[in-house]
Structure 1
Amino acid sequence: MRKLNDGQYAIGPQPLRLAALYQRSFQVGPVIEPLLLELSRELGETASLYVRQGDKRLVLYRVEPARAVRVSIRIGEEFPVDKGASGKVLLAFTDSQDPRWKDVRERLWAVSHGERDPETASVSVPVFGATGELVGALTLSGPKARFDMASTITVALTSLLNCAKRATVALGGSGARFDASIARTGMEGFLPDDYKAYQT
């Protein structure tokens, strides 16, 4: 709320932003929530969907695993958009001319290792809507020690890409755009040099 010059009060922009997120959640939620539950159960880590809000990324949905040591985040929590794997995905597909995110746009994934928090790591992929627009960043995050092997990241990427493809198709988008990335990840896996490429 803000006070006007004439002494009356007016509602600020925050309720409108929350209303837009609330409306979006009705369309996306029934598709995303079962996939997050599947990812978290299968891989034992926190699964989330982030959306961009200006210079922030916001947790729209999340499912945490039952294990004691995990990344714990709240729905509605905001983080800087320029940190973390989900931030890279959100920037890559909303700032589409920025050359820093060219590799993310081509591979359809990003990795972060101790970037936002020195103890955590994350892997993220885009989910698209019916017109090819970015819906959000599907993300798996956990303690850095559990993401320290290329084979672990490869498994996470493969599961995320397949779930993102299913979500995109369910939202009316084209799943075919994921096929090359899924095939490449299956053949090559996550390579040690990829750590360097995705820490910039």
Structure 2
Amino acid sequence: MPKEARTRPKLEGVASADRVLTVLTAFRRGDDALELSELANRTALVKSTIMRLCISLEKFDLIERLDDGRYRLGVEAARIGSVYQQSFALEERIVPVLERLAAESLETASFYIRRGNQRLCLFRADSPSPLRMNVRPGDMRPMDESAIAQVLRTFGDRRASDRIAIQLPLYTSGITDPHVASLAMPVFGTERRLIGALALSGPSSRLSADRAAALKAPLREAGERLSSELGAQL
């Protein structure tokens, strides 16, 4: 028998918790780091209160204070975000695609999402080769000029005009690591919103430009099919 819905207790929230969550939820899609003055504008809280609240948030790695005094979301926020993403059955859609790509390409297949000025490896399927990448789900990497980061940055901004010039899937070699190459393709959901980047990565000695050219078609097909399954109108 289905469980009966429980009546919500008639209790009030905690004011201090409300203020903490007001600061945390002030960050919006596309934000990198925010000045204290911007947080004050968005939350209507005084700066001294925000600073005290951010000290508590820093203890739980939910917010990070940069050397220049700005604030950005911390790694714990990324972890919670990854749990949220998984709760929408992304895993059951994406992981089989990664496993198939890894088996067919013999390279490591992964799925990344953006978290501030970093990219988070959400899912991964290992290459069958003993020589492969060591990035694990939950690991963070910089938003540099690698193919994966470029796809997340360019297609995450719905107003970006430079997306037109990108030939997909995008290939780069030796950016984050001089010995690593990657091939990346955007994955969209409803309203053509970017969900993440589908990627193949491997040693640059093996995943050369010629080899990447041969893998572009299956990666493009996998990305487009996955986007369609997640609600994108292609």
- What range is the shorter-chain TM-score in? 0.7 to 0.9
Q: Name the CA distance, whole Å, in 1 between partners of 2:161 and 2:177.
A: 25
Task: Summarize the alignment of residues 30-179 of structure 1 with structure 2, pairs less than 5 Å apart.
Answer: 30-98=92-160, 100-104=162-166, 107-150=167-210, 152-174=211-233, 177=234
Q: Name the CA distance, whole Å, in 2 between partners of 1:40 and 1:55.
A: 27
SS of the residue 2:124 aligns to: strand
Shift of the alpha carbon at 1:131?
A: 1.7
Q: Name the CA distance, whole Å, in 2 between partners of 1:9 and 1:120.
A: 38
Call closer, same or farther: CA 1:9–1:89 in 2, change over 3 Å: closer
Call closer, same or farther: CA 1:19–1:43 in 2, change over 3 Å: same
Cα shift readout 1:75-104 (whole Å, capped 9, x = no counterpart): 111111123110010011123445554422
Q: Name the CA distance, whole Å, in 2 between partners of 1:144 and 1:17.
A: 29
Give me the TM-score of the superposition, normalised by structure 1: 0.76
Contact 1:46–1:72 under 8 Å retained in 2: no
Higher relative contact order (CA 8 A, sep 6+): 1
Q: 2:87 aligns with which of 18, 26, 30?
A: 26
Shift of the alpha carbon at 1:71?
A: 1.6
Shift of the alpha carbon at 1:140?
A: 0.1
Give me the TM-score of the superposition, normalised by structure 2: 0.65
SS of the residue 2:201 aligns to: strand
SS of the residue 1:131 aligns to: helix
Contact 2:168–2:185 under 8 Å retained in 1: yes
Contact 2:78–2:120 under 8 Å retained in 1: no
Q: Provide the identity percentage.
A: 29
Bigger shift: residues 38-47 or 78-87:
78-87
Tell me how large the CA RMSD over aligned residues is: 2.4
Call closer, same or farther: CA 1:116–1:101 in 2, change over 3 Å: farther
Total equivalences in the alignment? 169
Shift of the alpha carbon at 1:113?
A: 1.0
Q: Give runs of ≥4 in structure 1 deviating > 6 Å.
A: none
Contact 1:88–1:101 under 8 Å retained in 2: no
In terms of fraction of residues, the more helix-rich structure is 1
